[in-house]
Chain A
Amino acid sequence: GAVVSQHPSWVICKSGTSVKIECRSLDFQATTMFWYRQFPKQSLMLMATSNEGSKATYEQGVEKDKFLINHASLTLSTLTVTSAHPEDSSFYICSATDFLYGYTFGSGTRLTVV
């Protein structure tokens, strides 16, 4: 079956630094990748949609300059949280999609900004 690998699974960083999260589709080429954020005891909120080779489409209210998304190949998308602050602490999860497998989710990244 389809597998999406997401790294790191958890990260602690200092306020003001940047953190990069990787999302890789291991055995299929993902036409589209999605990034979600989940605060404790809340739902998954879609942050952005990215397609290989083009700029990401951000949902309303999501700062594109703060959450940089790069989708350089059909198997890799990265989310960089720039100048992270404690309020950015959250669970970030990616999803890759293709025609055959539908949506496949990564295992998530727990970000803590101190």
Chain B
Amino acid sequence: AQKVTQAQTEISVVEKEDVTLDCVYETRDTTYYLFWYKQPPSGELVFLIRRNSFDEQNEISGRYSWNFQKSTSSFNFTITASQVVDSAVYFCALSEANTDKLIFGTGTRLQVFP
């Protein structure tokens, strides 16, 4: 069965600090997809990234970067030079190729203070 663990419930940082959100997953499938979503107070889910299990290249998009390590089943997300607008709940999610179900982690609430 698939499972996603986000051990950090809440993180508070001051603006301009770097912050890393952890994500550990479990799956028996060899083909799967990992995602990160941002959920601001409005409730909408904002897609950030999708990574398939065969692509372990790290990715950088502006201030965002992702570190995918199959050896430790982790897909961590780093925000560099955080800003107040980054305050939100961030979810890591996993889907297995044979089910299509997208299962979410418990989320990490990030608060960035000015």
Contact = CB atoms under 8 A, between A and B. Distances in A.
Interface stretch (A11-19, A63-71, A74-82, A104-112): A104-112
B101 A34 contact: yes
Interface of B: 33, 35, 42-45, 47, 50, 91, 95, 100-107, 109
Contact of B44 (A41, A43, A107): A107
Interface in A19-40: 32, 34, 36
Contacts of A5: none
Q: How would you classify the secondary structure of chain A's contact residues: helix, strand, loop or mixed?
A: strand
A95 B102 contact: yes
A46 interface: yes
A103 interface: yes
Nearest to B99: A49
A43 B107 contact: yes
Contacts of B109: 41
Contacts of A95: 102
A44 interface: yes
A84 interface: no
B101 A49 contact: yes
Contact of A43 (B33, B91, B101): B91
